[in-house]
Amino acid sequence: MIPAICSKCGLVFPSGVGGAPGARFRIESVSASCPRCWSSAPVLDGYYEILEDAVRLVQQPDFTRETAKALALEAQKLQRNTAEAQAASGRIRKTHPAAADRFALWSSIGANFAVAMATVVSALLVHMENRANAPLMERAVEALEDFSRHQPQPDLRAHRLSVAPTTSIRPTARPHSKEKLRVDHPKQSDCQAATPEPKLENRRIRRAKRATSSRKSRKPVRRP
């Protein structure tokens, strides 16, 4: 499945357009609808060429785990909007010029895509270190598909709207829900059956309550 990249929010997602690795064709002006913001998202042009290029990069003898780490780190900075693409590839260029060229291409497609490709490159390194049998290109396709289906990706529209995009996207903080659990406990016991952790806590609270209530009832007995 060839990924599409939303030009508005930056989401990398499976486009529904298929193709086999090794097939050489260009997708001109094919687009899919972004599942997050419903904008029109172009299907990635030259998908297999980009992946083949990444495979060649990883096979270079001087491409190390450190280079892969640097790529991931700089891509994440772009994703969090804490670095400029040009400065980021400049930092990579100091240790690995070829990697910097690829990084510049990936980040021109999108910050989430740069993170996706850094993930692919790391997966390829691990694959090579394990001397796995499957061809590297197959592993690259698999890693990118996995990323586009399962990896949480920030909405890059937020970069233009606010200064702190990552905090506003997240669901409400946990402590609140814990408090709620404690208060609503007697009514919610059925819904909580599946999760063992709150159950333990509730049992502890119940025991504590029982202890205090028995202490109270004992008081009058002690002082007749």
Where does this chain bind Zn ion (CB under 5 A)? 6, 8-9, 11, 34, 36-37, 39
- Closer residue to Zn ion, CB minimum distance, 64 or 151: 151
- Closer residue to Zn ion, CB minimum distance, 39 or 192: 39
Please state the length of the chain: 224
- Contact criterion met (CB below 8 Å) for 72 and 122: yes
Q: In the complex, what is the shortest distance from the CB of residue 7 to Zn ion, in angstroms, rounded to a whole number?
A: 8
Q: Where are the alpha helices (DSSP H) in 110-153?
A: 111-129, 136-150
Q: In the complex, what is the shortest distance from the CB of residue 106 to Zn ion, in angstroms, rounded to a whole number?
A: 18
- Contact criterion met (CB below 8 Å) for 19 and 48: yes
- Closer residue to Zn ion, CB minimum distance, 150 or 223: 150
- Closer residue to Zn ion, CB minimum distance, 161 or 194: 161
Q: In the complex, what is the shortest distance from the CB of residue 155 to Zn ion, in angstroms, rounded to a whole number?
A: 8
Distance CA 193, CA 80 (A): 38
Q: In the complex, what is the shortest distance from the CB of residue 58 to Zn ion, in angstroms, rounded to a whole number?
A: 29
- Contact criterion met (CB below 8 Å) for 22 and 6: no
Distance CA 94, CA 130 (A): 28
